[in-house]
Amino acid sequence: MTRIEPLPLVVSLLFACGLMGWVVWSQRPVEPAPVIEPASPVAEAAPPPAVPPVDEIRAASLRDAAEEAPEDVQPRVDLGNLYFYAQRFEEAVPWYEAVLALDPEHVDVSTDLALAYYYLEDTDRALAQFDRSLEIDPEHPKTFLSLGMVRAFGNRDLDGAMAAWEEVVRVAPGSAEALAATEALESLRAVH
């Protein structure tokens, strides 16, 4: 049996996780930023993007819309996303759950709910929700990509993570998710 060196494995997995996180977070709706001219022609390294604060006025408006239209999933999706992208996962969960109560086949919300559970350190519940997402859509690339991340980092199931990432490449070749999955697989294989 070959001994796996822990430091290269951790470094590779952190890189892969960062890439996967970028794919997952980059899929969120973002308002266009104003164009700012650089102060000098020399490019400077930008700091990582800050967690956006919750726009409480928008949140209140969405809550009102949800209350006025109890069967409309969109304000609930928007509220869940608003809290999710502000990393207020405990506040995103009930809105995502409300969406799934109205529309149990909403695979994107199901997968986001699974990620929220994971970020709240409930890996078992996250994995169960990913299973539900794959029942809805057995070839959903974002679900497989996220499932691989949770298997790798949540319960240290590297074989399961690799299987999930291989599925991403199979079901969505050439996509951003497949690129992230390929990077993760290459990093894992390099040290495994």
Angle among Cα 17, 111, 81 to the nearest 5 degrees reads 90
Look at residue 70 in the predicted model and tell me its pLDDT: 96
Domain parsing of the chain, residue ranges? 6-26+53-191
Only one residue has tokens 């070749």, namely 173
Look at residue 188 in the predicted model and tell me its pLDDT: 85
Cα gap 57→180, rounded to integer Å? 35
The topology under which CATH files domain 6-26+53-191 is 1.25.40
Look at residue 190 in the predicted model and tell me its pLDDT: 87
* pLDDT values of the chain reduced to their tens digit, one per residue, 192 residues: 444 454 444 445 554 555 455 445 445 444 433 333 444 344 455 666 788 899 999 999 999 999 999 999 999 999 999 999 999 999 999 999 999 999 999 999 999 999 999 999 999 999 999 999 999 999 999 999 999 999 999 999 999 999 999 999 999 999 999 999 999 999 988 876
Dihedral sign, Cα of residue 89, residue 91, residue 94, residue 97 = negative
pTM confidence score: 0.77
CB 65 within 8 A of CB 75: yes
Cα gap 42→102, rounded to integer Å? 52
How far, in whole angstroms, is CA 155 from its chain's centroid? 17
Cα gap 105→21, rounded to integer Å? 24
Look at residue 16 in the predicted model and tell me its pLDDT: 54
User: Left (φ > 0), alpha (ψ -120 to 50) or beta: where does 121 sit?
Assistant: left
- The DSSP 8-state label assigned to residue 59 in this structure reads H
Query: Dihedral, CA atoms, 121, 92, 178, 151, nearest 10 degrees?
Result: 20
Instruction: Tell me how far apart the 2 most distant CA atoms of the chain are, in Å.
Output: 62
CB 163 within 8 A of CB 173: no
